[in-house]
Amino acid sequence: MDQTESSERKAKTTKSRRETAVQGTNDNSIVSKCSMSGAGYFHDPFLKEFVAKNSKRAPLINRGYYVRATCIDQVLRQFLAKNQGSKKQIVSLGAGFDSAYFRLKSDKLLEDTAFFEIDFPEVTKRKHAIIESKSKLSDLLNLDEQKKKVVPPIELWTSDYCLLGVDLTQLNTLEAALRMCGADFDTPTLFLSECVMTYMTRRCSSALVKWAGETFLDAIFVMFEQINPDDAFGIFMQNHFHTIGSPLKCITAFPTMESQIKRFLDLGWQKCKCHDLNEMYRHALTAEERARIETLDPFDEYEEFNLKCAHYFVLLASTSSSITDYLFTSTSEDCSSAEAHPESGLITLTHTPLGKPGIKRFSHSSVLVADRYIMTSGGFGEVDGRHQRVQEISLTDTATMETQLIRCHSDEIQYSRMHHSAIMLSDGRMMLCGGRQSPFFLCTQLLVFDLHIHADSSSVCEGQGHRQSAALQEGTGDRTGGSNSAMQTNSNSGDHEKTNGVRNDEDDKVRNGTCTSSDVNSTVAEGASICDTTHSNPSVSENSTSSSSNNRPNRFNRTGSRDRQVLVTKAEELTNFEGGHVTCSVLKQSGDIPCPRWRHASALVNMKGSDCVFLHGGRTQKAEVLSDTYMLDVFAGVWTKVECSGDLPGALHSHCMLTWGEREAQRVVMVGGMDGDQCPQSSIFLLNPHCLTWQRLQVKGHFFPRYSHTCHIVGDKLVAVGGVNLHRQTPGVAILNLSTGQAQEFSFPSVSRNQMLMFHRHCSVILPDNRIVVLGGGGNCFSFGTHLNCTPVTVDIYKCLEAVP
């Protein structure tokens, strides 16, 4: 065998291997479409005929394929309706096991229509065999009418259907086969390319586009493909297809919808328009249909769904006919408003060295303790090499960026949770609120963690000059065993009395959950905090052992006496870690306790020296998005549902709340989020916690809609980090001057393929020097796999802060 023959054989083998891999994408796709249809998203009883074994896909994949199927089906039906009563043709390029012909034929929509399906010969032979073996399919084809003189590349040919085994790069063969089957090049014709040309080279795919436009007099081209290859999701998507042997060959040549439109116009098509799938989901579907979709699967992957939809598009091009009315005609921009160009080059990222232990999880919560240690709880991530919900607490020392895990396991305490909120109390303890373990199991316990560092034999929570929460005080009783069992406590909160024995009527209103703005004003005017009581402070009585119990300082209430009422239901000593230990307590709750929720937001407010937590919104087990607001008196463990006035934020989830200002000027700031119609918001609201009035801030400049982001306050400036929206460019960092309303967007540096970062479902803390430390983030990237950020990552925003006056 000479060298030339060997090279030719090797080239053919490589080409065959690539073609086989591309054909494999058809097999995966049809299983996913079948799952989507079986779950009730899209009615197509013929898909299952092409699947040997049904497999149930994740809700995210079902929803993604639903949007794809609905878009294509709408275009096909619109084309058939516009040409009703006259001859027309549909040419499906790379059809695979698509069932569109059978679905439309059963709906009696293919009168005067010739339907051509084209794919590799191996695929068409398999499809022919399936059709002949399934009466549900063959009965619609009228195989008795099959043309007798069927020769390659014609695989199957009836009066209105033709299955051709042709390589789409062989245009002469393709044209000859179509002519042989009676295709009319002057008849209105729709070409359909559904994730096909992306696997072809730029030269071959563009030649196919040009051929279709020049050969057919009245043609419409419908293409469904991937875009946006350069952000983290786009790189992760490309890596997936490269790994399975089907690289996306055209995405870098035509990376945006604008470049695809230019491509078609340059190749001779007269009209062209594009929509990404976020636009399709919002505008091509009715609100009622979107509401129906929300009920089909337990769904909590909004970020990945919107990111997937931002990386796929539908293109329509025409040689002559108008395409304005296809898909949708709405020009509304609402939550996918016109994009501005963020300023670049001002943000610096510092990555954790590869191989160094860090935090790889998402949907968790993190807080900064004593200006040095970051405590991270919950989420979904990697533990001991496995992906799972995380129970362990991570402790990161910002001086060294070293992270260690603190093991915590309990059948009674809900350590494992996702999409909860973490609040740093004024005494330095971390409180966890809400969250879920699954969409069917929501967390109800308020957990409080107390970090102790052994280096100075004291807790980092001590000595900060704030009153200890009565519901969190530690007892000094003897530790008489190793059990972590819960203490049983009296469920009645008892009378709330002043030290002089006179009952406080205003306190009763708060504890009975009937607080209004007038009550707040009245209470504050009298010089008493609505969140403050002066009855004896209860203590936590722990029934667990600790190797360092002798070093722990006992805690007493302000009068130095012991409390007669315990407000903690459970207390547990966690496993020691190098350099210290952590205790966890379950806070007893009373009053108007909020319904269980996740994706809510909360913020700590100091009301006359007492810790109060304001909570707003979130999602429930029934997929409702909540608009309610609650206040928790941490000292007493009492919830109050508050009725606010002014510019109400409405129903939101995945938003941020934080505190700005001090004392009477203190405000709760609410940033972004996703509303009840699943539309990301750019709104900024300010709540006066004393009179319970919301005010919407008027923003000047650019502040993108976003949800699943994090926020911080630096002086009078709000810093928003990351998030997701419906734009095709994901948010970077936004700086907004809360005093003036002036805002500016800044983009993150270009994505490194070796250190990809997805800035959603992450957490971040701000250090005393105004550097931001990002922890975790990422998610399930559609069917491409799960990405977990390697963190901590430090974000230097100094230049951004200077750029916004």
Place 190 in a pLDDT band, splitting at 50, 70 and 90. very high
* pTM for this predicted structure: 0.85
- Judged by average pLDDT, the poorest of 101-115, 553-567, 569-583, 770-784 is 553-567
Tell me if 733 sits within 8 A of 696, measured CB to CB.
no
Edge-to-edge strands of the sheet including 386-389? 361-362, 380-383, 386-389
Place 660 in a pLDDT band, splitting at 50, 70 and 90. very high
- Tell me what percent of the residues of the chain surpass a pLDDT of 90: 71
Inform me whether the pLDDT recorded for 565 exceeds 90.
no
DSSP state letters, 48-81? GGG-SS--PPPHHHHHHHHHHHHHHHHHHHHHHH
Give per-residue pLDDT as tens, 668-688.
Answer: 999 999 999 999 999 999 999
- Residues for the chain: how many in total? 805
Return the pLDDT at 324: 85
Return the pLDDT at 355: 74
Angle at 252 (CA atoms; ends 249, 253), nearest 5 degrees: 85
What is the rounded average pLDDT for all residues in the chain? 85
Half-sphere exposure of 185 (CA within 13 A, CB side): 12
The predicted model gives 343-356 an average pLDDT of 89
Return the pLDDT at 148: 61
Q: Which helix (H) or strand (E) holds 734?
A: strand 733-737
- Judged by average pLDDT, the poorest of 6-15, 178-187, 744-753 is 6-15
Tell me if 775 sits within 8 A of 396, measured CB to CB.
yes
Give per-residue pLDDT as tens, 500-557.
Answer: 333 334 344 433 444 554 454 343 333 333 333 222 222 222 223 233 333 333 332 3
Return the pLDDT at 568: 63
Place 499 in a pLDDT band, splitting at 50, 70 and 90. very low
Superfamily of domain 348-803: Kelch-type beta propeller (2.120.10.80)
Place 2 in a pLDDT band, splitting at 50, 70 and 90. low
Domain ranges of the chain: 14-320, 348-803
Count of other CB atoms within 10 angstroms of residue 714: 13
Whole-angstrom Cα distance, residue 570 to residue 590? 15
Give per-residue pLDDT as tens, 706-727.
Answer: 999 999 999 999 999 999 999 8
CATH topology match: 14-320 vs 348-803: no
The predicted model gives 276-282 an average pLDDT of 96
- Judged by average pLDDT, the poorest of 174-178, 196-200, 578-582, 749-753 is 578-582
Give per-residue pLDDT as tens, 683-697.
Answer: 999 999 999 999 999
- For residue 616, give both structure tokens: 């707003």
Whole-angstrom Cα distance, residue 715 to residue 27? 56
**CATH top-level class for 14-320?**
alpha beta
Q: Quick check: helix, strand or coil at residue 345? A: coil
Return the pLDDT at 227: 97
Whole-angstrom Cα distance, residue 457 to residue 85? 87
Integer CA distances (angstroms), 693 to 388, 609, 613, in order? 41, 21, 16
Burial classification of residue 131, based on how many CB atoms lie within 10 Å of its CB (0-12 exposed, 13-18 middle, 19 or more buried): buried
Tell me if 440 sits within 8 A of 432, measured CB to CB.
no
For 652-686, give one letter per residue: b (16+ CB within 10 A) or e: bbbbbbbbbeeeeebbbbbbbbbbbebbbbbbbbb
Return the pLDDT at 9: 55
Tell me if 472 sits within 8 A of 585, measured CB to CB.
yes
Place 335 in a pLDDT band, splitting at 50, 70 and 90. low
The predicted model gives 399-407 an average pLDDT of 91
Compare 109 and 581 and report the one with higher pLDDT.
109
Place 8 in a pLDDT band, splitting at 50, 70 and 90. low
Return the pLDDT at 143: 74
Whole-angstrom Cα distance, residue 106 to residue 319? 30
Inform me whether the pLDDT recorded for 5 exceeds 80.
no
Burial classification of residue 158, based on how many CB atoms lie within 10 Å of its CB (0-12 exposed, 13-18 middle, 19 or more buried): middle
- Judged by average pLDDT, the poorest of 396-405, 508-517, 540-549, 791-800 is 540-549
Q: Which amino acid is residue 160, in one-letter code?
A: D
